[in-house]
């Protein structure tokens, strides 16, 4: 994807589209963050985008994000300055101002809110993130693999409450912060993982904002040409179409600060007579066929597009009757390491499947289908 050097108001529409796609169903609806970013850019001007290599080694770099169940954000809109309040609370503890902002994940609301914060604070944003997609828990980031601590972590809500958390490790930070998030009404804005420019160069997954922007432009371009973006995205992102079907059941609940559940899809066209089950915890984590065999597994990406409009579909939007294309894409190679799978593989989330790359699962499925036809 072509690198982006600054973010203008016109860039927010493709960034929101690309973020919704890379969010793998989670990360929250980016539309709210898009409006916040557009308003901030209107007031302060475009946001400079930095390659992580351009950071000074001693710079203070801070990601900001929304934590909680994406379904909550549909009814509990942010006041608008919560993330900036969290950033200021963290800066007060650290005794210095941040030099740059970045996205903790490349997806959903958390691909747009940091832009709003960067614009409001007059700071550049780094072209990178900590996931290359969206994951449900805050220790599931590349920074954890490099020993970077999530704390001190600042949290703020729409009522004006703000607090700073210190925990012994990143998993403990997730557990304590999740409890606080529930007490804040199911969603909180956070600033955490304060790091130096040197640490950012080691740990940040590079080019995420450029990728999000490029994906959004592809989706918008294909929609304008009356084509579904699924095939173009699969070709450009080394992905694959896994299934085409109609949503016939959604079991979704907000539990412990997460949107959890599963959805059942009945196949259409060449998938007629087949069934797909999607299991999610904020994000789509597992896709299984009618026999229970996996078609894609976390940390690989499972992304949904509306069959007619080509719009990305999030877990909180998905409803009975939706006709969708389910795509799978390989994750960043760091997630396929032993440490990455320990953090974000299917076993961590309680699924029995042993991780197999989505491209290998697709080849296996194709081989079985060919044998059945023979």
pTM to 2 decimals?
Answer: 0.93
Q: Are 29 and 70 in contact (CB under 8 A)?
A: yes
pLDDT in tens, 340-353: 999 999 999 999 99
Q: What pLDDT does residue 372 have? A: 59
Euclidean distance between the first and the last CA atom of the chain, given in angstroms as a whole number: 41
Tell me: pLDDT of 173 over 90.
Answer: yes
Residue 29, preceding peptide bond in cis (omega within 30° of 0): no
Tell me: pLDDT of 48 over 90.
Answer: yes
What's the gap between Cα 4 and its chain centre?
19
**100: enclosing H helix or E strand:** strand 100-103
Q: What pLDDT does residue 368 have? A: 60
pLDDT band at 373 (very low <50, low <70, confident <90, very high): low
Q: What pLDDT does residue 68 have? A: 84
Tokens of residue 346, six digits? 């299917």
Q: What pLDDT does residue 256 have? A: 76
Q: What pLDDT does residue 109 have? A: 86
What's the gap between Cα 83 and its chain centre?
17
pLDDT in tens, 287-314: 999 999 999 999 999 999 999 999 999 8
- Which range has the worst mean pLDDT, 43-52, 223-232, 309-318? 309-318
Q: What pLDDT does residue 71 have? A: 63
Q: How many CB atoms lie within 10 A of CB 58?
A: 9
pLDDT in tens, 24-42: 988 777 888 899 999 999 9
Domains and CATH numbers, the chain: 6-208 (3.40.1610.10), 228-373 (2.40.390.10)
- Parallel, antiparallel or unpaired: strands 195-196 and 60-68: antiparallel
Q: What pLDDT does residue 259 have? A: 79
pLDDT in tens, 250-288: 998 877 778 789 999 999 999 999 999 999 998 999 999
Distance CA 39, CA 116 (A): 8
Q: Are 192 and 89 in contact (CB under 8 A)?
A: no
Please report, for the chain, how many H helices and E strands are present, in that order: 12, 18
Q: What pLDDT does residue 211 have? A: 96
What is the residue whose two structure tokens read 């990728």?
211
Q: In the chain, what is the greatest distance between 2 CA atoms, to the nearest angstrom?
A: 69
């Amino acid at each position: 994807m072509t690198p982006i050097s600054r973010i203008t108001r016109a860039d927010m529409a493709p960034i929101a589209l690309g973020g919704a796609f890379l969010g793998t169903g989670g990360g929250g609806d980016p539309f709210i963050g898009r409006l916040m970013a557009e308003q901030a850019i209107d007031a302060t001007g475009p946001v400079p985008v930095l390659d992580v290599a351009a950071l000074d080694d001693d710079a203070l770099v801070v990601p900001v994000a929304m934590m909680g169940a994406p379904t909550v954000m549909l009814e509990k809109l942010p006041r608008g300055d919560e993330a900036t309040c969290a950033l200021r609370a963290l800066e007060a503890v650290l005794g210095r101002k941040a030099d740059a902002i970045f996205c903790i994940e490349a997806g959903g609301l958390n691909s747009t809110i940091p832009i709003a914060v960067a614009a409001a604070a007059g700071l550049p944003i780094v072209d990178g993130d900590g996931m290359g997609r969206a994951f449900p828990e805050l220790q599931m980031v590349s920074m954890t693999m490099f020993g970077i601590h999530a704390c001190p972590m600042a949290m703020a809500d729409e009522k004006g409450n703000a607090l700073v958390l210190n925990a012994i490790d990143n998993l403990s930070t997730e557990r304590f912060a999740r409890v606080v998030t529930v007490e804040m009404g199911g969603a909180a804005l956070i600033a955490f993982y304060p790091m130096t420019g040197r640490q950012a160069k080691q740990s940040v997954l590079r080019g995420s904002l450029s990728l999000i922007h490029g994906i959004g432009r592809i989706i918008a371009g294909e929609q304008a040409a009356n084509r579904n973006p699924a095939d173009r995205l699969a070709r450009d992102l080394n992905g694959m179409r896994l299934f085409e079907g109609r949503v016939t059941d959604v079991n979704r609940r907000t539990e412990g600060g997460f949107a959890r559940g599963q959805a059942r899809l009945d196949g259409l066209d060449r998938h007629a007579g087949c069934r797909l089950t999607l299991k999610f915890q904020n994000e789509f984590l597992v896709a299984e066929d009618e026999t229970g065999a996996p078609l894609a597994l976390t940390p690989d990406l499972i992304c949904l597009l509306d069959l007619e409009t080509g719009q990305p579909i999030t877990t909180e939007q998905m409803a009975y009757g939706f006709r969708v294309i389910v795509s799978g894409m390989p994750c960043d190679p760091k997630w396929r390491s032993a440490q990455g799978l320990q953090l974000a593989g299917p076993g961590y989330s309680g699924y029995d499947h042993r991780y197999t790359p989505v491209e290998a699962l697709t080849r296996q499925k194709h081989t079985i289908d060919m044998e059945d036809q023979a």
